[in-house]
């Protein structure tokens, strides 16, 4: 890239020098020729002033410049005095006709000026100088112009080299960042370069990396969440089937219906987890708090139907209806219920009450609880396992609905609370 920028810059500079330099060089050459011919014309005029009137008598030609030849010709084209061809050449013949003439002859620049006596041409003064003198001046001017052109190209090369280095460095950093992104490092961020366009690309690459990282995290979370969420209902199904095989129930239709309900719940769980993992839009509507508690209690009773633990729903003392996804809240409640069933003991109590512009749903049991909230709700660092996976999922579900999941107290008789703000609060 650096080489291409350098070559392109020098080539453009060279093209510009040629486009402007060639016409300028031709103009310089024309100017030097005009200047020399003007000097010849001035020398011829001075010589004419020194000639006798009518060219009568002796004709002497003054010496004006060492490199300049002056000659006087009669109207018959014969050389009368000075240095020049013995007979008139084309410029002299043209001047005999009464018109001043400028031109080239035998490698000389020539100016022929007629000598007038009144209105009659009585002779011609020819001023000549070797064309090599003018060409030498032109060549020196062209060499100076070429030197300036080379200097301009050198400056352009130096500037282009610095510009190429400034541009190539950030582009190479972008390349390296993109390579790290392809290797799975979604936190890769190229440093600011000071070039607005490159920095815009870097910001776009950083945003893309962040989105890819979030998508990968969601997919990983989905794998862990799905395995945790499906383990308990699958175990429940296995227990129910084993129990049915050991002691068949009299109402086979009711048993099959309960299995169908459990399978429907599993299907809904997978769909909801996929929705969360993909950040798809979910439907939110006013929540029927009593119905949500009854659904969570029914789940607990299904799981505990072969045990001796009680499931109790306290009378609700709330009339609020937070706008949330009922499916997401059901899954969060299911996590808390499963956690209480698997790690708790004694009665499992569900309830709800109002609290300063919010509705609070509670899940409590008589178990030993946890000694540290960090165990229940691990941060993003680490590899949570066991109940922490489920509680982390429940927290994400609740926070996605604008609420909060809290553990009221550590120690025995844990109470988990889901705070859901009311509209307008």
Residue ranges making up the domain that contains 329: 283-425
Residue 157 domain-assigned?
no
Q: Are residues 268 and 303 in the same domain?
A: no
The answer to whether 222 and 277 are in contact (CB under 8 A) is yes
For residue 381, the model assigns a pLDDT of 38
Same domain, 261 and 313: no
Q: Find the CATH number of the domain harbouring 274.
A: 1.10.287
pLDDT 10s digits, 39-87: 888 888 888 887 887 777 677 777 777 778 888 988 888 888 888 898 9
The verdict on 233 and 357 lying in the same domain is no
* Residues 364, 232 share a domain: no
* CATH number, domain with residue 394: 3.30.565.10
Q: What is the pLDDT of residue 309?
A: 83
Judge whether 166 lies within some domain. Answer: no
Tokens of 326: 């009922």
- Asked whether residue 138 falls in the same domain as residue 201, the answer is no
* CA separation, residue 188 to residues 126, 309, 354 (Å): 85, 52, 46
Residues 122 and 51 in one domain: yes
* Helix, strand, coil in percent for the chain, rounding step 5: 55, 15, 25
**Residues 214, 141 share a domain:** no
Q: Do 245 and 296 belong to one domain?
A: no
Using a 10 angstrom Cβ sphere, with 0-12 exposed, 13-18 middle and 19 or more buried, the burial of residue 283 is exposed
Q: Helix, strand or coil for residue 187?
A: coil
Looking at the fold, whether 288 and 276 belong to one and the same domain comes out as no
For the chain, what is the domain count?
3
CA angle (24 as vertex; 19, 26 as ends), nearest 5 = 110
Give the model confidence (pLDDT) of 76-135 as tens digits: 888 888 888 989 888 888 888 888 888 888 788 899 999 888 788 888 999 998 888 888
Residue 386, φ and ψ in degrees, nearest 5: 65, -135
> Is 97 exposed, middle or buried, given 0-12, 13-18 or 19+ CB atoms closer than 10 A?
exposed
CATH assignment of the domain containing 79:
3.30.450.20
Stretches where the chain sits below pLDDT 70 are 1-2, 57, 218-219, 221-233, 236, 265, 268-269, 272-282, 305-307, 374-376, 378-390, 425
Q: Is residue 210 part of a domain?
A: yes
Same domain, 200 and 339: no
pLDDT value for 361? 93
**Residue 420 belongs to some domain of the structure:** yes
């Amino acid at each position: 890239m650096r080489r291409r920028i350098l070559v392109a810059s020098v080539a453009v500079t060279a093209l510009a020098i040629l486009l402007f330099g060639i016409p300028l060089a031709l103009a310089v050459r024309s100017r030097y020729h005009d200047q020399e011919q003007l000097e010849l014309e001035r020398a011829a005029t001075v010589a004419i002033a020194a000639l006798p009137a009518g060219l009568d008598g002796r004709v002497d030609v003054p010496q004006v410049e060492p490199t300049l030849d002056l000659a006087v010709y009669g109207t018959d084209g014969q050389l009368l005095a000075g240095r020049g061809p013995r007979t008139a050449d084309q410029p002299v013949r043209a001047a005999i006709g009464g018109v001043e003439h400028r031109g080239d002859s035998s490698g000389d620049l020539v100016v022929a000026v007629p000598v007038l006596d009144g209105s009659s041409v009585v002779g011609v003064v020819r001023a000549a100088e070797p064309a090599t003198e003018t060409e030498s001046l032109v060549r020196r001017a062209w060499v100076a112009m070429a030197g300036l052109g080379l200097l301009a190209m050198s400056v352009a090369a130096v500037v282009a080299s610095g510009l190429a280095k400034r541009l190539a460095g950030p582009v190479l950093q972008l390349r390296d960042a993109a390579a790290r992104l392809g290797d799975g490092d979604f936190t890769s961020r190229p440093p600011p370069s000071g070039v607005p366009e490159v920095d815009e690309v870097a910001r776009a690459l950083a945003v893309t990396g962040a989105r890819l990282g979030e998508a990968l995290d969601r997919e990983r979370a989905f794998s862990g969440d799905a395995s945790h969420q499906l383990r308990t209902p699958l175990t429940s199904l296995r227990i129910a089937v084993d129990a049915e095989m050991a002691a068949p129930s009299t109402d086979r239709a009711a048993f099959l219906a309960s299995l169908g309900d459990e399978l429907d719940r599993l299907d809904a769980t997978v769909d909801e987890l996929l929705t969360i993992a993909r950040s798809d839009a979910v439907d939110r509507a006013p929540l029927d708090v009593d119905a949500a508690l009854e659904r969570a209690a029914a789940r607990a009773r299904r799981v505990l139907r072969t045990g001796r633990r009680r499931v109790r729903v306290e009378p609700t003392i709330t009339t609020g209806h937070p706008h949330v996804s009922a499916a997401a809240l059901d899954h969060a409640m299911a996590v808390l219920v499963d956690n209480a069933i698997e790690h708790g003991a004694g009665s499992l109590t569900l309830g709800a009450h109002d609290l300063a512009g919010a509705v609070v749903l509670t899940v409590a049991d008589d178990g030993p609880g946890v000694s540290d909230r960090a165990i229940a709700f691990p941060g993003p660092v680490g590899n949570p396992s066991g109940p922490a996976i489920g509680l982390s999922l429940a927290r994400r579900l609740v926070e996605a609905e604008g609420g909060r999941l809290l553990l009221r107290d550590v120690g025995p008789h844990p109470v988990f609370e889901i705070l859901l703000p009311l509209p307008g609060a």
